[in-house]
Chains A and B, each alone.
Chain A
Amino acid sequence: QVQLQESGPGLVKPSQTQSLTCTVSGGSFSSGGFYWSWVRQHPGKGLEWIGYIHYSGKTYYNPSLKSRATILVDMSKNQFSLKLSSVTAADTAVYYCARVYTSGWHGFFDYWGQGILVTVSS
């Protein structure tokens, strides 16, 4: 059973860079058929895809984030991370990490972490 767990600070100051880590257990992190992704959910709102990374390092991002997001992978630790720069209050959300099953360019989210609330406030 694949398990994902988010970690990182729950409070970030405006204009700073937010950093989150997702630790993956119970599955093969380096399997070619999966991406590793971040999705966020603003309070009381719907879901927004941020981006994903293949274990090879190839990345795809949501253009709406205007290049503020960077996703990296650390295969030695079975972890991947999200850095979101120049945060504002609009980035306050629950951030989920998730595994993506893909047979092509994109895919669906089959396993999710429990989520971590990140609040942007001074």
Chain B
Amino acid sequence: EVVLTQSPGTLSLSPGERATLSCRASQSVTSNYLAWYKQKPGQAPRLLIFGASSRATGIPDRFSGSGSGTDFTLTISRLEPEDFAVYYCQQYGTSPTFGQGTKVEIK
């Protein structure tokens, strides 16, 4: 099983600031098959990024994904009020696994 470790656990930022979220895999992720999701309280997760860097349909360009191998990053260039949520990474190079999540909260 590929274990994904996300850091930090919580990120306290103000609207307009830049957010950088990390996802580290216990082994290399096949073909950079890594996705990112956003989840707000009481809602289902929403796909943001797939293939490490491709934005899903309708996702604003302030969201970007990068990385390869075992280290991946989700960057939100300028935080909007609706971006404060929990973010999960997921790998699909083998049986899917998720990271434990990073909460982005208002400072």
Q: Which residues of A contact B (CB under 8 A)?
A: 46-49, 60, 62-63, 96, 98, 101-102, 104-110, 112-115
| Interface flag for B53 (CB, 8 Å) | no
Q: Are B101 and A46 touching (Cβ within 8 A)? A: yes
For the complex formed, measure the closest distance between the CB of A15 and the CB atoms of chain B, giving whole angstroms: 27
Q: Are B47 and A110 touching (Cβ within 8 A)? A: yes
Classify the interface of chain B: helix, strand, loop or mixed: loop
Counting contact residues on chain B (CB < 8 A from A), the size range is: 20 to 34
Residues in A with CB closer than 8 Å to B94 are 105-106
Give 8 closest A-B pairs by Cβ, nearest first: A112-B44, A108-B35, A106-B92, A49-B96, A47-B98, A108-B50, A46-B100, A110-B47
Classify the interface of chain A: helix, strand, loop or mixed: strand
CA distance A108 to B53 in the complex (A): 13
Per-residue CB contact flags for chain B residues 18-47 toward chain A (1 = under 8 Å, else 0) read 000000000000010101010000011111
